[in-house]
Amino acid sequence: MPAELGGSQISSLLEALPGIASVLRSPVADALVKAIRAAAGVGEFAVEDAEELIRYAVRRGLIGPDEGDRVLADVQAALKVRRKTVRAGKARQNTSPPRRKRVAESAVLQISYNHQYR
């Protein structure tokens, strides 16, 4: 039968093996931290994190399954609109060549012109 660890033993284990904390950490805690970073604009939002938090809330009875489904549908719809907007913005940005390139080309032409007629 596996032995149970007490609080002080767990603390000692976490201090002795720094990487073990990430292994023992709850997926809900990870999702919560990522969602907070995304809300602050420091990280990227992931649907998987939202799904994990919704599943947790439903399991704990904090929200009903119907509400969880509605929230996830709202999130996915909002992300779909955002992706279309980003794609359209990228398409518009790529239509004109960078100004630096045109300036560099004209400088090369000017140098070659001056060199030919000296």
Residue type, 29: A
Sequence-ordered alpha helix ranges (H) in the chain: 7-16, 20-24, 27-40, 47-59, 65-93, 99-116
Specify the range with the lowest mean pLDDT, choosing from 25-34, 60-69, 83-92: 83-92
For residue 52, how many other CB atoms are within 10 A of its CB? 20
Taking the C-alpha atoms of residue 111 and residue 118, their distance in angstroms, rounded to an integer, is: 11
The pLDDT of residue 70 is 96
Taking the C-alpha atoms of residue 26 and residue 44, their distance in angstroms, rounded to an integer, is: 19
pTM over 0.95: no
For residue 45, how many other CB atoms are within 10 A of its CB? 17
Taking the C-alpha atoms of residue 70 and residue 58, their distance in angstroms, rounded to an integer, is: 12
What does pLDDT average to over the chain?
77
pLDDT digit string (tens) for 12-44? Answer: 766 777 676 666 678 888 899 999 999 999 999
Q: Answer yes or no: is pLDDT of 99 > 70.
A: no
Q: Which of 64, 27, 26, 65 is nearest to 46 (CA)?
A: 27
The two tokens of residue 10 are 């767990």
